Amino acid sequence: MSTDRIAALAGLYSLAMILGALGFQYIGGVAPCEMCHWQRWPLDAAIVTGFVGAGMFVTGVINRNAMLIFAALSLALIAASGAIGAYQALVEWKFLPGPESCTGARFVFHGAADFAHSAPAVRCDEASWRLLGISLAGYNAIFSLGAAILGAYLLAAKKAFSLKRKRQ
């Protein structure tokens, strides 16, 4: 598989994950915590690097070496999101302490409007949703790390195939 397709698939994967998270949030009513937002940031960046890199390669703006950088960066961003998801899953299972900003009791005063509409803070150490005992953060860890490993394998196989063809 070509590096531009790997980058485009990384962008597409990231877009699907973001749309899934937004679906859980706005359709399913599962409010995200602070760490949930942290997991979204690298995926947002992977959408951009994957699609922009593939688009620039197809239009001839960048060469194969630059395309490899875009593909690898997209996969690294997906892996970063998965690593944050794994960290949050460990926090939810109480194996690791989470950040104080979202794992303890807190009240953030935003003015008089807080008295009328006091929404509870979403805690990072309590899973809002689970399927088969795995939270959304856990699924993000499984799928994102798996996608990053698969993408890295495809890139390495592509690179090995290219080197083999050059020698012949």
pLDDT tens, 86-135? 998 888 888 877 777 666 655 555 665 555 555 557 766 777 866 787 78
Ramachandran bin of 105, using left for φ above 0, alpha for ψ from -120 to 50, beta for the remaining angles: beta
Buried b (16+ CB within 10 A) or exposed e, 24-54: beeeeebebbbbbebbbebbebbbebbbbbb
Percent of all residues in the chain with a pLDDT value above 70, rounded to a whole number: 79
Please check the confidence at residue 75 and state whether its pLDDT lies above 80. yes
**pLDDT for 116:** 55
Mean pLDDT of the chain: 83
Per-residue pLDDT tens digits for 88-99: 888 888 887 777
**Nearest by Cα to 53 from 77, 72, 76:** 72
